[in-house]
Structures are given as structure tokens and as C-alpha cells.
Structure 1
Amino acid sequence: MIQKIIIAILALFVLSTSVFSQSLNLKNFNDKNSGLISELSLDMFPKHPSSHQEVLFKLKSFYFNLNFSETVVYFNGKEYKKGVGLKEFKIKTGKPGERNLIQVVVRDPKGKIHTKKVEFTPENVGLVYEVVDPNVPFGYKGKSTVISNSKVNIFAFPDFVSKSGKRIDKKSLIYTWYKNGEVDNKASGFGKYKYEVERMPARPSDLYIDVLVTDVTKKKVAKNKIYFSPEFTDVQFYSLNQSLPFTFKNVVKNGVLKTSDKNTTVLVVPYFMDMSEDENLDYTWKINNKRYLHNPGDKRDRLVFLNDTNKKETILNIFFQLKNDYRILQTAHKNLKLILKSENQDEVLNQQYYNEERSKKNKNSGLGGFFGL
């Protein structure tokens, strides 16, 4: 008896599968049933996919139960996926500018046929940014870091190809820019492939910039986004002497510099700060908690320290701060513990040597010192 029941169930399953595969195909597809007013919806994520990207499709219906409905999915005219209770599926797009057609045929539990289609052409748009007027020392090969209050330009590079195979000029496309999800109407429009951020927000605030690019027919569409998490500006101490010119290896690590040289130059180098307007920069030096050379006209980026050979050891606590009064969030400071050790206590620096070093120090002071070492 049990064997007969099992055989009957299997026969029913085979029969229903056969009927399912025969009854649902593209012959059942009806464009009239695929309009906006339909008992079946098909959503696509992302809405504007790029080439070679995985796209998620979701079927929904508030009129019948998809869990007990039979569904067949066709991708560019070929059967792609089918099943009972099929509610979502993924498809990977092809080359840019290549047409993609998704057709879905569904038979609900009452036997009614529903159809839906989505047609799209994946397009690409790249986003590149540049930090305007970032300060980095000569020879620095890294990319400028985006810091609070910095000015940043963002450029869109769409890769749209016409039917004739020619690349469409980016100046002839329409750009819609979004800042943290809201349309920036002033920055959007025909040929506006450049977006300017005058002042980056302060941490911990982040910034999202999206761009939607279309051609004049609205048939070619591409979207992309770029994310910024601005850092704080930074300064680094470097040690110099007559035999050791500036290199990145001279950076002072862990905030402590020990030396037995007769004279040591401490150079400070700010990174990524906007230093295009010298009058907006405010330098502050402190030695052992006392201000040293703090006045609006003194833009000294280094100090020369002479070793007192009468002492075994001299410890100096150095503080440096640099502020940009125009971009007030661009402020950096650092502490340095300078330990001057004497190898020969009997050696005493004469006044002439001291005066010569002081003269050199005055000549080498100023912002231009970064590049003239």
C-alpha cells in the first residue's frame, strides 16, 4: 500500500514538472502584462549596474502567493532559471553598452499567467579625486591624504560608446551630482563632469559623493559613488646636520631624538595642509614650555641646537604647532624630546662658531626650506 502511494506521488510530481516545463515559455510572454500596472513587480539592485557586475533581481506580488507559483526566467531570450517559489535570482552583466533583456513568466496557483521584463544597458563611469594645494615635501611619492577642511576636486570619467562604436565625449553628457544623498543642483547639469568640495567636513563626519550620468536620450545611464573619511593633518620632525641632508629616513621616531653632534637642526614638515597662502599660517615653537619665536611674521620651519660640551647631557622638550587661520580645522602639533649628549666635556664651542651657525639658521628659516635642503 505504501509503495503504491509513493509511486502515485512520484507520478504526480513528474506529470506536474512536465506540464510546468511545457506550459511556461516565451510564448506565454505578453508585453501588455508587463506594464507598470501589474500584479507582479520585478526590482533590480543596483538600479544602474555597470559592466561585469552581479545584479540581484527580486520578484514581488501582493495579489498572489509566489511561494506556490511556477516561474521561468529568460536572459537575452534563453532560459536562465526556473522553479516553484522562485522569488529572486542573480545575473552578471556583460560588456559596457551591451543590451541585457530579462523576461519573467509566472503562473500563479490559480493558473493565471503573469509576465514582467526589464531591459537595460550597463554603462561605466569612473571617479577620480585630487586634493587642491596639499603640502608634501619634495620627493614624496604617495597620494595626498584628504584631511579636514581641505579642498577636493572630483572628476567623472564616463565610458559611453555610441552605436557606431565611438566613445561619447564627456562634455556632451548630463551629470547629476549628489552630496550625502541630496542633489546638488548648482553642480549638476550638461557637461559638468567636475565636482568641487570647498571644505571637507571634520572628523568623525564622512562625505558621500554620487554621480548619475546620462546621455541626451536618457537611454545610456551610469552611476558611481566615492566615499571620504577625512583625516587630521600631521607634522613630522626630521633631524639634519652637515653630513646628513634631508631624506625621509631622517624622520624622528617615537618623539625622541638623541644626538652627540656639535649642532643639530630640527626640521618640521607638515603633511597635506593647504599652505598656498603664507599669510594664513601661524607657527608656534616652545622649548621647555616657554614660547620661542612666536610672532606673525616668523615662519620658521627649523631650529638649530648647539651642543653644550660642558654638560654630559642636555634635555630639551620641544613643542611645535602650525595653524591655518583660513582653514581653521587644519591645525597640527607635535612634541619632541631632544637629548644632547657630549662626547668630550673639555671641548668648548667658541663664539665665532656659534655666530656662524646662528647666521646659517637665519638664512635657512622659512617655508622654502623644505625644497632647498
Structure 2
Amino acid sequence: MYELKIEMMNLFLKQIWVWRCGGALILALFGVILSLIWLPANPIADAQSNGCPTIPPEILQQIPPELLQQYLEAVQAGCNAASSSAFTLSAAPNPGETDSIVIATAQLPNNGNPSSAQFTWFVQNQKRSDLSGIGKNVAGIVTPSTPGSLLVRVDAIGPANATSSAHISIPIILSSQTKAFQGLQNQIDDLIQQKNAVESQFDVVIQISPDAPKPSEIVILAVTGLQQDVSGADIIWFFNNKKIVGGTGAKTASAQVGPAGSTNTVRVLVTLPDGRTAEQSLSITPAGIDFYWWTNAYVPAWYRGKALPTPGSTIFIQARPSFSASISNALIYTWLLDGEIVQSASGQGKSLFAYGIPKTELLASSISVRVTNLSKTIDQTADFSIPVVSPDPQIYELRPLEGIRTAQPIQTVTRQAGKAIDLVIEPFFIPRAIFTTARYQWALNGKNLPFAATKPWVFGMTSEPDSSGDQDISVTLDNPSDSQFQLSKSMRITLQ
């Protein structure tokens, strides 16, 4: 049967090629006749597919190019006329786009009036009562946010309880609006993750007293938090891998170091009430010479901890042998930097050594001192480890009657709209020389504010009474005479 239809169409095409100048009337008649010939043997199956049969390529190749468009239109018209008795379902636009609307339209057989028919709609195999009802042959369907296929089905009960059903699978492609929204959402998610990561971090520092314990001496250990107050934290101390103290607020502990040259390991584990943890450790090697050191790095006057050396600062190290002051002043001190003798700093009574920490170069791996007397009956050597850290700027709230709220720096704070708030930046551990000439550039929501002539380290803001939302504040420190120096810190105020 199929081969017979092909042969008949080939013959008819040859006639059309000869009569191509016969006009549109011949073409229209050809389309109707061809569609009738090409109707499938099973009209019901074709009606269920909601479309005309596929025309074989070998037929299309024999049609003159200038007549192809008219031919296809004539075939479609004939097919539509032949299948007008089918129950059809169409959609527009097709394909649809994400986060949009497609309109599905059901047509009763023989162009029947839908006003008295009962239509039941299904979307993705789920009944949609809101779209169903008498006369509801048109449904507006919101498309999903992800590309794929949208399956739509409609059941109709017409006059005399005649039932019909049709379905259509509508391809859904990604719209430009959805793509832009997803890109914005990804950026928001990334910012939230960065914010959570910053807020979840905190560091602790272990301090020992004395700084350089003698053999078998008892040392006092203390832990402090740079970003958080650890008074209410659960703190566990370990000495040489053995737990020695543990409990809430156990900020100090004591231990006895071993003989000269022995390695003594201290470790502390701090867990805040919200579950965040920080761990720090250090190694103590006792010697017969104590060291006392200080640095010219900046710390606020209210800070109870010790100023720590940073790149660009100077650390001053004083060797203190285990002798009386009169004997110690008569001893010969030989200072070594990475094993090389520093002649200018060595000599009788020169117990103080100043070391300028490089800004960009490699840090000296070791500083050591050899203490002797003229007769060599005293000969002791000790190594000093440089506790270098990075500058750590922190923002605190400044209140008129209370001053700086030093309990802990702020990352985020909520304030009532219309109220004033003052902030102060404390650049912990930057070199004093830089601190005195540093410039402070404050910014509000990404826009730089004018430099303040007085107290540039203080930022004050009074919001409008009807304002609300997040206000991002940042401050950048630099130095006109040192292009390599720059620090920054940011925080957020939520107005309610």
C-alpha cells in the first residue's frame, strides 16, 4: 500500500512539473488530493498524534524549489480539512520558555462549541482543578524554572456524553530572564558563604611567662582570643600531649618544663558556646638564659595583651642570664643572626639586641646569644624564636558615655533607624612608624567618604528615621610613604 502511494505521487508530481504554470488553483487542488491520498490507513491513530503524516524526503526532493512553499501550504490545508473531525490540543508558544506561561487550547471534533463541554486538565500527570470546568477549553499554564518537557493532557465530555482525550509534550527551553536570575542567585549564595566563613573564623594566641623559661621552671600559660572573648568558652590544655587543665573559662594553666634543651609542647583547644573551635600550640625549649622582649608595634591602651612583632616593626630582645645584675653586666654577649655574628651588637654588657623585621624579605630563621666571662668559666647559649604575626585590624563600637566597647570587635550589628552609631578601627600590631602617618579611608556601601581632618580612625553615622536594610561599612589603611602597606576591614549595620 505504501509503495502504491509513492508511485501515484511520483506520477502526479511529473504532471505538476509539466503544468507548473497552471496557477494556484491547480496547486490547491493538488494539495487536497495529495493529502487525501496520503491519509494513513488508521485515521484514529493519526488523530491521536495531532498532526499530518510525515512526507517522505524522496517526494520533497522532486518538487521544484519555487513551488515547494505553496505545495506544503496546500498539503497542510488539505490535511486540516481531512482531520477536522479529530479532538485536538495545541499550545502557544511551542516550545515554551522557563518561568513564563504557555496557552493550551483544546478543539472539539468538527469545531464543536466548547461552552457546554466539561474539560478536565492534567499538567505533568497531576490533575489541575483550577484549570478544569465547563467551557474551559483554554488553559494558561505557568512553566517550570528548569528546562525540560511540560506534559499537558485534557479530557473532554461533550454532547451526548461523548468523551475525547488529547495530550501534548511541550519542550521548555531556558529563558534569558531565568538565566539572569539564576546568575544573580548564585552571586548571592557566594556572598552568603563568604560572610558565614568570615564570621565563623576566630583565632587564639598562647602566651607564656616567663618568655624563655629556665630548665625545670614552672611556666604560666594563658590564652586570649583576637576576635572573640573566650571567657565563656570550654578550654582544654595539653602539655606534652597530656591533658592538664580543662573546663569553662580555663584561660590559664601552669606546667613545669624539662631540663635544658628539652622540647616541651603546649596545646590548647578552645570551643565557643556556639560550637566554633580554635586550636593553637607552641614549643618551649628551656635554657639557662631568659629572654625578655618587646616591640614597637601598636596596640590600644586598653589592650591587656602584649604587642606582637609584625613585618616592618622592630623587636627588642634582652638576654637575662641566671646571675645577679652585677655579674650579668660584666658578661660578654655574642649575638648571632642565622648563625652569623652581629659584631655591632656584641660585646661586654650588651645584653640588648634590636632586630628590624623585614617587610618583604625572608625572616631570620634564628636569633641566638652566647654569654661568657673572660675566664670562660661561664659559657651559656640560648636561642630565641621570633613570634612574628600579621597586623590584625578590628572594628569596635564607640559609645559617648562608655567609650570603646572592648569586649569584642563587631562584624555585624543591628540598630534602630534614625539613631547614631560611632565606630573606631584599631589596627593591632602595625608598626608605630606607620601608625602615626597612616591614612584611613572609610567607605559606605562601596562609596568612599571624604577623609576626616580629625580623628580619622573614627567613623560616625546617623541614619534617616525611615531607612532600613543593610549598610556595608569598610575602612582601608595605607601609608603615603610605604606603597606596600595596606590593611582593610569591613562590617555591616542592619537598620530596623
Q: Alpha-carbon deviation of 1:229? A: 4.2
1:141 aligns with 2:141: no
In structure 1, the residue matched to 2:53 is none
1:338 aligns with 2:493: yes
1:258 aligns with 2:414: yes
What secondary structure sits across from 1:249 in the alignment? coil
Q: Alpha-carbon deviation of 1:251? A: 2.1
Residues 161-172 of structure 1: matches in 2 within 5 Å?
Answer: 168-172=326-330
1:173 aligns with 2:331: yes
Answer 1 or 2: higher relative contact order, Cα 8 Å, separation at least 6: 1
Paired letter, 1:147: T
Residues 148-227 of structure 1: matches in 2 within 5 Å?
Answer: 148-160=311-323, 168-200=326-358, 202=360, 205=363, 207-227=365-385
Q: Measure, in 1, the Cα distance between the counterparts of 2:295 and 2:483.
A: 17
1:318 aligns with 2:473: yes
1:124 aligns with 2:280: no
In structure 2, the residue matched to 1:309 is 465
Q: Measure, in 2, the Cα distance between the counterparts of 1:180 and 1:328.
A: 29
Task: Compute the TM-score of the two structures, normalised by the length of structure 1.
Answer: 0.51
Task: Compute the TM-score of the two structures, normalised by the length of structure 2.
Answer: 0.39
Q: Measure, in 2, the Cα distance between the counterparts of 1:189 and 1:250.
A: 46
Q: Alpha-carbon deviation of 1:218? A: 1.6
Is this contact kept in 2: 1:175–1:214, CA < 8 A?
Answer: yes
Alignment partner of 2:430 out of 269, 273, 276: 273
Is this contact kept in 2: 1:174–1:190, CA < 8 A?
Answer: yes
Is this contact kept in 2: 1:146–1:231, CA < 8 A?
Answer: yes
Gaps of 5+ in 2: 1-213, 218-258, 261-286
In structure 1, the residue matched to 2:163 is none
1:286 aligns with 2:450: no
Q: Alpha-carbon deviation of 1:290? A: 1.8
Is this contact kept in 1: 2:310–2:431, CA < 8 A?
Answer: no
Per-residue deviation, residues 129-177 of structure 1 (Å, max 9, x unmatched): 1112x322222111111211111110011124xxxxx765222111111
Q: Alpha-carbon deviation of 1:201? A: 5.1
Q: Which has the larger radius of gyration?
A: 2
Cα RMSD for the two superposed structures: 3.2
Residues 18-97 of structure 1: matches in 2 within 5 Å?
Answer: none
Is this contact kept in 2: 1:273–1:330, CA < 8 A?
Answer: no
Paired letter, 1:227: S
What secondary structure sits across from 2:460 in the alignment? strand
- Quickly say closer, same or farther: Cα 1:218–1:319, change in 2 above 3 A: same
Q: Measure, in 1, the Cα distance between the counterparts of 2:420 and 2:294.
A: 40
Paired letter, 1:272: F
Alignment partner of 2:404 out of 223, 246, 251: 246
Per-residue deviation, residues 173-210 of structure 1 (Å, max 9, x unmatched): 11111112221111111221110112345597454210
Q: Measure, in 1, the Cα distance between the counterparts of 2:481 and 2:337.
A: 23
Paired letter, 1:318: I
Q: Measure, in 2, the Cα distance between the counterparts of 1:151 and 1:143.
A: 14
Paired letter, 1:131: T
What secondary structure sits across from 1:293 in the alignment? coil
Q: Alpha-carbon deviation of 1:232? A: 1.0
Paired letter, 2:302: G
Q: Alpha-carbon deviation of 1:328? A: 6.0
What secondary structure sits across from 2:470 in the alignment? strand
Q: Alpha-carbon deviation of 1:298? A: 5.7
Q: Measure, in 2, the Cα distance between the counterparts of 1:302 and 1:124.
A: 47
Is this contact kept in 2: 1:232–1:330, CA < 8 A?
Answer: no
Paired letter, 1:149: G
Q: Percent identity?
A: 20
Is this contact kept in 2: 1:203–1:230, CA < 8 A?
Answer: no
Paired letter, 2:346: S
What secondary structure sits across from 2:329 in the alignment? helix
More off after superposition, 275-284 vs 218-227: 275-284
